Structure formats: C-alpha cells, structure tokens
Amino acid sequence: MKIGVPKEVKDQEYRVALTPDGAAALVAAGHSVLIEHSAGAGSGFDDAAYVAAGAELGTADEAWAAPLVLKVKEPLASEYRFLGTQTVFTFFHLAGVDPALTEALLRAGTTAAAYETLEDADGRLPLLAPMSAIAGNMASQMGAYYLARFNGGRGTQLGKVMGRSYGEVLIVGDGVVGSHAARTAIGLGAEVTVVGLDPPRGSELAKELGDRLHYRIYDPAVLAGMVRTADLLIGAILHKGARADSVVSESMVRSMPPGSVIVDVSIDQGGCIETSRPTSHSDPVYVRHGVIHYCVTNMPGAYPRTSTLALTHATLPYVLRLAAEGTGAFRADAGFAKAVNACGGYVTCRAAAESLGISDRYRPLETLI
C-alpha cells in the first residue's frame, strides 16, 4: 500500500506522523511511503533521513492522494479539498472541533480513523495516552508560568520556599492528564488536589504520588468552594469520543482570585470549563473575569521532538496493520474498529454523533465495511 504523510498546517504544529525509522519499517514490509517536503523538519527529521529510509518526497497533493494518509492533527478547512475516500489516521476530536470537519468527511466519504478513540484489549486509549501525558505535564508548567506577575498573573510561585509550600493547584479529572499534571505540580512544590469520581483511583494516585496529593470525590458544591481559593485550575475531563462535560461554571470562574490561571486540557473535546474557548500557541491566553485562560488545542506541539517520538512509537504497530490489511484490520480487532469515527458518508462513533446532534447520520461500522 502507498502511505502519504502531509506536513501539518495547524498553528505552531511541528509534529510529524511518521519518523524515518517508521518509514523504513513500512518500506521493509513492502509498502511505499511519500512524505511531503520538510514535513519532519520541525521535529528534527530532515528530508534526507526519509530518503535514506526508502521514502519518496513529494507535494501535499501527492501525499493526500495516497489510500492511507497519516497525520497528527485534524484536517483544517484549507485541507478539506484533499479529502476523498482514503483512510486518514490522525487525531480528529470531532465532538470538540468545528462541525464543518464532520460535514466535509461525510461529504467526501472519508474513512476517519481517530487516534483518540482507538482502544486496546483493556479498554485503554494507547494512542491518546502519550499526548495526554505531555499535555498534563505542560498544564502545570504553563500554569506556573502565567501565574507570574509579569504575565498578568497573581504573583504566586508554585513551589517550596524554605520548606513551606506555596500555591494551590486544583485538577478536575484523574486520568492520564490529571495524574501527570498532579505529579508535575507536586514536583514543583505546590499543594495539589485532584477531583475525581473513583475512590480506588484516589488510593492508587495517593500510593503513586504520596501524601502531598489530596483526592476529593466530585461534588459540585464542594468543587465550587475549592475553586474560590485555587491559584491554578486544570481541566482534565475526558469522555471517549464525546464532548467534555462543562463541570466548572462561569459563576465558579468569576469567584476565582484575580490573576489566577485556568488551563483547560479538555479543550480538544470542547472544554470542561464554561468560560473556555480554543486558543493557539501564537495567541495562547485571554482573560475572563480576571482569570487567565490557557486553552491551546495542540499543547504537545510545543515539544514536537518528544511528542513525535512518543506518538509514533504508539501508532506504528497500527499503521503497519492498516497498510497490510486495509479496512480488514478494523474487522479483525474491535478495539481498533473503535478508532473509526466516520466511514462511507456516515458517523460511526455514536458518542460523537450524539454530541454533534446528528444521531440520524450514525451507522455502526460493521454495516459499512
């Protein structure tokens, strides 16, 4: 099979969907790989490395013309013209991005295989997890940065000074993002509270991160009280394929201290904080009710080398299967099949269809392939 890898066009997105080593593995398996010129440059992989791996170089049109297209982020409006009946394997986040993308996919009949809904045998999300980990680490780092007074922040340093902790970090969500954000914030020296729904998960995190972590079971009234004193609030809610629940209301945000910071990592799926709206690396923050909001939709793109290596390590085994078996790979593996969010002009992820209000355009994947 021919595999195409276009260069990412999202703002400040320097990741690439395939490394030279990955290209070499595909070529060794008998496939052909076409990389758009300079697609890997931002991650430190030059064109010569891909050529040495056996790949061809070409244009965006040529990369998109392949029957299997690998990307990192969802196609943008400027790329809709490339969509056809090919399989596109990337992050889509259909429930949280512009509904025009879903319409474009359905109109073109594209098979949209989403990294974020692919499940392993244990129901985990192995392709989303590494990027969630990086975003979680970043959430505490970015929060600490924007709390600085020269950034308009409250002037609270997240850290220990002469043995005493300063700064309150409140994390809503106890998954991969939440646990990594908590670990980083604890490492800085802050007081950290994670809000979740599962007492055993709280015990697990306490065992992993120590008694510096406080775990609270979600209750709207209790959350409202904790928000009022938080220096940094991190949104880390995930519902597979669906729009994130808005668990932090505008009135809660209004009650936060002036100069406090919100980092909504759930923004890819619509955000879990009512006052959140998507931002970019070029224009990352805005202020609402005196609170700085950081809601960048491609946070791991800030560290493209690490992110590309972590992502492609996870995706390559699935890419090799898709290249060898085509859509048959979905028929053979129910967890892999959950990656498919659109196919043949229909939405095939029920949660996405319901979030978008187009349940009438949902069809189970098994009826289409």
Considering 31, 93, 180, 293, which one is annotated as catalytic? 93
Q: Which among 17, 40, 25, 36 is positioned nearest to 113, based on CA atoms?
A: 17
Whole-angstrom CA distances from 220 to 7, 249, 265, 269, 289 are 43, 10, 20, 21, 20
User: Band of the pLDDT at 144, cuts 50, 70, 90?
Assistant: very high
Element (H, E) at 4: strand 2-5
Annotated active-site residue 293? The verdict is: no
User: In the chain, pLDDT over 70 holds for what percent of residues?
Assistant: 100
Instruction: Give me the pLDDT at residue 212, please.
Output: 86
How many residues belong to the chain?
369
Q: Please confirm, yes or no, whether 268 is among the known catalytic residues.
A: yes
Indicate the pTM of the whole model. Answer: 0.96
Give the least confident one: 52-66, 73-87, 141-155, 207-221: 207-221
- Taking alpha carbons only, the member of 23, 11, 69, 83 closest to residue 278 is 11
The CATH number of the structural domain formed by 2-118+303-367 is: 3.40.50.720
The pLDDT, as a whole number, for residue 369 is 87
Distances (CA, A) of 303 to 44, 160, 364: 11, 26, 37
C-alpha–C-alpha distance, residues 283 and 83, integer Å: 28
- Residue 364 has a pLDDT of 97
Q: What is the mean pLDDT of residues 307-313?
A: 98
Q: What pLDDT sits at residue 211?
A: 86
Question: In which residue ranges of the chain is CATH 3.40.50.720 found?
Answer: 2-118+303-367, 129-302
Q: CA 158 to CA 247: how far, in whole Å? A: 24
User: Sign (positive/negative) of CA torsion 231, 214, 268, 2?
Assistant: positive
**pLDDT tens-digit series, residues 201-228:** 999 999 999 888 999 999 999 999 999 9
The three-state secondary structure class of 35 is: strand
CATH superfamily, domain at 129-302: NAD(P)-binding Rossmann-like Domain (3.40.50.720)
**Phi and psi, residue 259, nearest 5°:** 85, 0
Which residue, chain included where needed, has tokens 């998960």? Answer: 201
Distance CA 97, CA 264 (A): 15
124 pLDDT higher than 90: yes
Residue-wise pLDDT for 168-199, tens only, equals 999 999 999 999 999 999 999 999 999 999 99
pLDDT at 63: 98
- Work out the widest C-alpha separation in the chain, in whole angstroms: 64
The residue annotated as part of the active site, out of 174, 231, 264, 268, is 268
Span 115-122, average pLDDT? 97
